[in-house]
A and B are shown apart, each in its own frame.
Chain A
Amino acid sequence: MTEPTIYELSSIGRVGVLFPEPDVPLAEFPRDLLREDLPLPELAEVDVARHFTNLSTKNYSIDKGFYPLGSCTMKYNPKINEEMARLPGFAMTHPLQPADTVQGNLALMYQMQEFLKEISGFAGMSLEPSAGAQGEFTGVSIIRAYHQSRGDIKRKKILIPDSAHGTNPATSSMNGFEVVGVPSDARGNVDLEQLRKVCDDTVAGLMLTNPNTLGLFDENVVEVIKIVHQAGGLVYGDGANLNALLGIVRPGDLGFDIMHINLHKTFSTPHGGGGPGSGPVGVTRALVDFLPTPVVAITEPATEELPPLYGFVRPAHSIGRVKAFWGQFGMIVRAFTYIRMHGPDGLRKVSEYAVLNANYLMHILKDTYTLPYDRTCMHEFVIQGSWADAPGVRALDIAKRLMDYDFHPPTNYFPLIVHEALMIEPTETESKQTLDSFVDAMLKIAQEAHTNPELLHDAPHNTPVGRLDEVKAAKDLVLCCWIPESEDKLL
């Protein structure tokens, strides 16, 4: 990579702005706030603009190319979302403003809660959680609060299928639960017999990702939920894969008790370096009183002359706050825009095309790559990145080689139940031409794996930097690039 750091570009005394001589008396700068040891770079505006523009061209983003990162739903982020979020009425408000001065913002949040309730089939919705994992944490905190409120304190376990998202066990541990794994059956569904064996009165709940990380809709989902409910547990739905279900099936109707929704996946707000995320949580009627505080409600109904008055309210048995202020408001505006732009029929089309695109890719690639669970997939699918007759080539090599063809690699080595997994999620926003060029690259790489494996081992070749040393990156942690001299002495 030839681009120097901004510190290397610095030249003493160079500035971006020349201030005129002040026409008021100069105030003395407090001496104890002056520091000699702070090496801020000194550059002209043009150098700064070029530096960051150059860096941005080395980055890979959804605006630059296809990004089939399974489970992450890297769909295109429509520009109108940005335009709406920048409207001064939204962008220029402050979170500490009195509620009666931001009624428009609150009306949007209220309407968003209603939209998400309608889409997911839940009775209550909190927009507070700041991303998916925090939504999970919120949901499992609600599970704990629910059992505690009933004096049912022996429930210490959360069940997690082996095809669940990797964050689910972490969430349960963070909440003080013991994690018990549940295996998948040969079709990639939760193994019902194994589930029955572990369901007893010590189970607080089950965390289910549906469609799961194999991209498969659990064919027994209703039965799975029934088994857990019969044991007195609650069922948490990981909504990260909601992009396959919009307008087709509502998780609340299937019997899920709680679910988070990733606005930054399903509802097209930026993520993967462009965030922040946003992870609203929906619950059934029995759990609405446990939602995090605050939720937006109509505090005074509309009259003939006046619109309703909106305000923040605290649910009766709220688990408390999970985030400062009112959720990721800018993201809520973007996702709201996306929902309004599509409407109910449009949202259903989103899921239909997401599923169609994934099945299209899967059907072409399965002749060349092993497809361990050969079923109609939902919005993503998992293939194996290895061949018996190409020893030494692994999923990682294929992922790296894809970068040479200007594609972002798919998720690799997850789910763990597939050997050398490559998890591919095209999303609905890609054209047939884009999907076909991805197929061409994948088929070409499969050929190279057999005829010229070194090409894959050494990949990527065409990127600003080559294969990174992941072992060194994981072991030799450099968490600070610069320590001020005064701090240095303290260490």
Chain B
Amino acid sequence: MKIPENLMYAKTDEWVKVEGNVATIGVSDYAQQQLSDIVFVEVNASAGDEVKKDAVFGTLESVKAAADVILPISGKVIEVNEDLSNTPEVVNSDPYGAAWLIKLEMSSPAELSGLLDAKAYTKFCEERSH
């Protein structure tokens, strides 16, 4: 299971990559492994929307289950990854790269302090595996 050092993680299994004031958000390798083969991706937001931390902003559906994707931080939507609706399997093959879900201009960067670093998230995943 990959948990890149340069990202931050939410306990609901989303990752956040911070570049300046822009946050890119996706779901972790752990999340995609738990869900197994993803067959449907839906993101309920569009560029320009003001979105709030903890809101459900999308759904991932696999052969096993459907899971909500929750915003780990608040901000204004810059871009949504439209390609995933045609290629949902990318969430399985490249969760930290091509399968990013949404890019935000952060409105309260202080919220980042509530997220886990790679080390803490690794421990959190291990605890849940058993």
Q: How many residues of chain A are within 8 Å of chain B by beta carbon?
A: 9
In the complex, the chain A residue whose C-beta lies closest to that of B38 is A471
Residue B57 CB within 8 A of the other chain: no
Residue B53 CB within 8 A of the other chain: no
Q: Is A471 within 8 A of B65, CB to CB?
A: no
Contacts of A413 in B (CB 8 A): 64-65
Question: A416 contacts which of B39, B40, B63, B65 (Cβ < 8 Å)?
Answer: B65
Residue B123 CB within 8 A of the other chain: no
Residue A474 CB within 8 A of the other chain: yes
Instruction: Looking at the assembled complex, report how far the CB atom of B85 sits from the nearest CB atom of chain A, in whole angstroms.
Output: 11
Q: Is B129 within 8 A of A419, CB to CB?
A: yes
Instruction: Looking at the assembled complex, report how far the CB atom of B110 sits from the nearest CB atom of chain A, in whole angstroms.
Output: 24
Q: Complex: how many Å from CA A471 to CA B39?
A: 6
Residue B37 CB within 8 A of the other chain: yes
Q: Secondary structure of the B side of the interface? A: loop
* A410-454 with Cβ < 8 A to chain B: 413-414, 416, 419
Instruction: Looking at the assembled complex, report how far the CB atom of B15 sits from the nearest CB atom of chain A, in whole angstroms.
Output: 21
Instruction: Looking at the assembled complex, report how far the CB atom of B53 sits from the nearest CB atom of chain A, in whole angstroms.
Output: 16
Instruction: Looking at the assembled complex, report how far the CB atom of A71 sits from the nearest CB atom of chain B, in whole angstroms.
Output: 15
Residue B130 CB within 8 A of the other chain: yes
Contacts of B61 in A (CB 8 A): 474
Residue A40 CB within 8 A of the other chain: no
Q: Complex: how many Å from CA A38 to CA B37?
A: 39
Question: A471 contacts which of B37, B128, B129, B130 (Cβ < 8 Å)?
Answer: B37
Question: B63 contacts which of A388, A414, A419, A471 (Cβ < 8 Å)?
Answer: A471
Q: Is A475 within 8 A of B39, CB to CB?
A: yes
Q: Is A474 within 8 A of B65, CB to CB?
A: no
Residue A470 CB within 8 A of the other chain: yes
Interface string of A457-491 (1 = CB under 8 A from B): 00000000000001100110000000000000000
Instruction: Looking at the assembled complex, report how far the CB atom of B34 sits from the nearest CB atom of chain A, in whole angstroms.
Output: 8
With contacts A388-B130, A419-B129 known, is A470 near B65, CB below 8 A?
Answer: no
Q: Complex: how many Å from CA A470 to CA B64?
A: 9
Interface string of B30-51 (1 = CB under 8 A from A): 0000000101100000000000
Q: Complex: how many Å from CA A167 to CA B65?
A: 13
Q: In the complex, given contacts A470-B37, A474-B63, what are 5 additional A-B residue pairs having Cβ atoms less than 8 angstroms apart?
A: A413-B65, A416-B65, A474-B40, A474-B61, A475-B39
Question: What 6 pairs between A and B have smallest CB-CB spacing?
Answer: A474-B39, A470-B63, A471-B37, A413-B64, A475-B39, A474-B63
